A and B are shown apart, each in its own frame.
Chain A
Amino acid sequence: MKRSIIDLWVGIFVAIGLASVTFLALKVANLTPQGDNNSYTLIAEFDNIGGLKVKAPVKSSGVVVGRVSNIELDTQRYVARATLTLNDQYHFSRDTSAEILTAGLLGEQYVGLVQGGEEENLKPGDRVQLTSSALVLEQLIGKFMTSFAEGNNKAAAADAAAAETAP
């Protein structure tokens, strides 16, 4: 085997390796160079974030406009404070509301932003005033059970009243 042929093949081999790593980084892991200048952050506080995770998408009308970059517990007031990093080309009015929604029945949770009507926009670092928490299944079932039990009690009381009036 000639030395030049071996060199050529090893060169091809290493080039294939570099191309593979580049492909994995760019196409599979979606490494896009992200400077701080093309995004800004907003703060949203929720009573309960449910299963929201860091890097969950922030959507408005279903369009991804940013990501949740940080989640922490505010130990002063005991609410969850989520930091939303939004793309610089999307701005929202000061009375925008944020809610935690679920994609599909078992899907991941994301933050939905609904644009308000005010003229002035939220500035970087501002807090979203109107928020609504995630739906927690246990609480939902709990509420349903209480209202169901109350309904039963009312129906029983009505039956009893009817029985009394009837001779």
Chain B
Amino acid sequence: MMLDNLLAPLRHLGHSSINAIWKLGMMSRFLLAILAHSGQSLLRFQLTIREVYFAGVLSLIIIVVSGLFVGMVLGLQGYNTLSRFGSADALGALVALSLLRELGPVLAALLFASRSGSAMTAEIGLMKATEQLEAMSVMAVDPVARVVAPRFWAGVISMPILAALFNVMGIFGGYLVGVVMIGLDEGTFWSQMQNNVDLHSDVINGLIKSLFFGIAVTLIAVFEGFDATPTAAGVSSATTRTVVTSALVILALDFVLTAFMF
């Protein structure tokens, strides 16, 4: 009895580890199932286009506005720090490099996870709770092919586009603060940027990052929706899990990708 009490925390730890690994395995199998059913959903591309509209187009506003403000803040803070060392000329390079390499892909992915990922989870979870997915199966329509795969591909397509747009808006924000507001020389701003930004190692690598984030976020979102307990409380906790897990995975994945790339 005494021993049982002592071992309880260990048992708890073991249980949650097994659960985590089990979930990881389920998620990998789910990814394989999505890929296996992708052919069908790519043939009926209209479904994917519809989901691109809901996941990508409707995220435009939040991406544009946050990108602009992040760029403006970078411009202000960067100018304050750089001008102490007499190198305010490098502001363009600072803004562009921090956005392209880290902030653009990461922040766009975080916004995408909370805006579109949570919506996907809630939608699929509610479909499950109201037994729509089972109804599809009864009608010999595979819910993975009809519901999940189009959403997955829509997320994978939308994420790099949103990240690129975030970068552009951020650089424009930095330009607004640096050149229009503070009055740095416009030519120096752009030429410093162009001298220090490399197409392959900065622009392309940033987009590759956002592609990985797109895959991770959308996979988590559709899996949590599909895996949700079919009750109101289950759907709500699945939505929360999507946002939390996505945020953690994005940041961890960012570290790994950065270590590999730069």
B96 at the A interface (CB under 8 A): yes
The interface residues of chain B lying within 8 Å CB-to-CB of A17 are 160-162, 164-165
How many residues does chain B have at the interface if contact means C-beta atoms less than 8 Å apart? 32
A166 at the B interface (CB under 8 A): no
Within the complex, which residue of A3, A13, A24 is in contact with B100, where a contact is CB–CB below 8 Å?
A24
The interface residues of chain A lying within 8 Å CB-to-CB of B161 are 13-14, 16-17, 20
Stretch at the interface among B68-76, B145-153, B194-202, B241-249: B194-202
B203 at the A interface (CB under 8 A): yes
B48-68 interface bits toward A, Cβ cutoff 8 Å, 1 = contact, 0 = none: 011011001100100000000
Within the complex, which residue of B49, B87, B164 is in contact with A20, where a contact is CB–CB below 8 Å?
B164
The interface residues of chain A lying within 8 Å CB-to-CB of B194 are 27-30
Residues A24 and B164 in contact, CB atoms below 8 Å apart: yes
Residues B53 and A29 in contact, CB atoms below 8 Å apart: no
Residues B198 and A29 in contact, CB atoms below 8 Å apart: yes
The interface residues of chain B lying within 8 Å CB-to-CB of A104 are 86-87
Known: A17-B165, A20-B165. A7 touches B49 (CB 8 A): yes
Within the complex, which residue of B60, B85, B167 is in contact with A106, where a contact is CB–CB below 8 Å?
B85
Known: A13-B57, A17-B160, A28-B171. A6 touches B49 (CB 8 A): yes
A25 at the B interface (CB under 8 A): yes
A76 CB, min distance to chain B CBs, angstroms:
32
Name which residue of chain A comes closest to B87, CB basis: A106
The interface residues of chain A lying within 8 Å CB-to-CB of B56 are 10, 13
The interface residues of chain B lying within 8 Å CB-to-CB of A14 are 161
The interface residues of chain B lying within 8 Å CB-to-CB of A20 are 161, 164-165, 167-168
B176-214 interface bits toward A, Cβ cutoff 8 Å, 1 = contact, 0 = none: 000000000000001001110111001100010000000
B193-237 interface bits toward A, Cβ cutoff 8 Å, 1 = contact, 0 = none: 111011100110001000000000000000000000000000000
Name which residue of chain A comes closest to B161, CB basis: A17
A148 at the B interface (CB under 8 A): no
Q: Which of A1-36 contact B (CB under 8 A)?
A: 1, 3, 6-7, 9-10, 12-14, 16-17, 20-21, 23-25, 27-31
Between B162, B164, B167, B171, the greatest number of chain A beta carbons within 10 A of the residue's beta carbon is seen for: B164
Residues B190 and A13 in contact, CB atoms below 8 Å apart: no
A75 CB, min distance to chain B CBs, angstroms:
28
Residues B60 and A13 in contact, CB atoms below 8 Å apart: yes
Residues A29 and B57 in contact, CB atoms below 8 Å apart: no
Known: A16-B161, A20-B161, A20-B165. A27 touches B190 (CB 8 A): yes
Residues A16 and B171 in contact, CB atoms below 8 Å apart: no
Residues B165 and A24 in contact, CB atoms below 8 Å apart: no
* Cα–Cα, bound, A3→B44 (Å): 14
29 contacts across the A-B interface (CB closer than 8 A): A10-B49, A10-B53, A10-B56, A13-B52, A13-B56, A13-B57, A13-B60, A13-B158, A13-B161, A16-B161, A16-B165, A17-B161, A17-B162, A17-B165, A20-B164, A20-B168, A21-B203, A24-B164, A27-B190, A27-B194, A28-B167, A28-B193, A28-B203, A29-B194, A30-B194, A30-B195, A30-B197, A57-B195, A106-B87
